Amino acid sequence: MALMSEELTFSVMRTGELAESAWELTSRRKGARAVLGLAGPPGAGKSTLAQALVEGLRRRHGPLAAAYVPLDGFHLSNAQLERLGLVSRKGSPPTFDVRGYAALLRRLVAEGDHDIYVPDFDRTLDEPVAARHVVRPGTALVVTEGNYLACELPGWSEAREAMDELWYVEADREEIRRRLLERQLAAGRTPGEAREWVWANDLPNAEVVEASRDAPWVKRAFHWSGHD
């Protein structure tokens, strides 16, 4: 499926407006499953928005309207990060199984007659977990999100091939820093450890993502208001 290349617009968007635009993708697919991707830096609110879109569409159009598929389920395990020497770079592009993620998206488009199980990342365990989500037969729209979906890096273009549209979720840098610090503190790091991790790892990752904001395959870029 080719991503549309209309003029990029920047704005503050509400959940209801975004849900309407997302639902329009299903009519273009004429009964086949559509896929919407949400890219953006860590801490921008992608996962919260994706789940809000899914919940809102299910309320409006029924339980098979939409399903949530997070890239974070394709984090490499801590054991694999240790093997590769990437523990200190967890969350950077090479610490994801991007080809596995792309393969799942292809299955979601091609296979619509049985349950397809979807992994997620458990922040308490600090590990990926299998089959936390399921995409049921007849599901009309998949909403998937991840930092690097718009990046021109090995493997990510293959993932984009399964998407009908790709949106970019922005947030103010200070807000991103605050959310990332809160995330690391909630994971059990001390304030000093949290600051060091965010400055040495999370913010450099955010810079990689921000460089993809104006990519030609990004349909729209916006700040999410967090409201309906």
Give tens-digit pLDDT for 99-142. Answer: 999 999 999 999 999 999 999 999 999 999 999 999 999 999 99
Over residues 179-224, the pLDDT tens digits come to 999 999 999 999 999 999 999 999 999 999 999 999 999 999 999 9
Over residues 55-90, the pLDDT tens digits come to 999 999 999 999 999 999 999 999 999 999 999 999
| Mean pLDDT estimate for the chain | 94
Over residues 9-52, the pLDDT tens digits come to 558 999 999 999 999 999 998 778 999 999 999 999 999 999 99
Dihedral class, residue 45 (left if φ above 0, else alpha if ψ from -120 to 50, else beta): left
d(CA 160, CA 226): 26
> What superfamily would CATH give domain 10-224?
P-loop containing nucleotide triphosphate hydrolases (3.40.50.300)
Dihedral sign of CA atoms 100, 101, 106, 109 in order: positive
* Separate counts of helices (H) and strands (E) for the chain: 8, 8
Confidence (pTM): 0.94
Task: Look at residue 8 and tell me whether its pLDDT is greater than 70.
Answer: no
d(CA 134, CA 66): 11
Tokens of 203: 């913010």
Question: Residues 6 or more apart from 85 whose CB is under 8 A from it?
Answer: none
Q: What residue ranges do the domains of the chain occupy?
A: 10-224
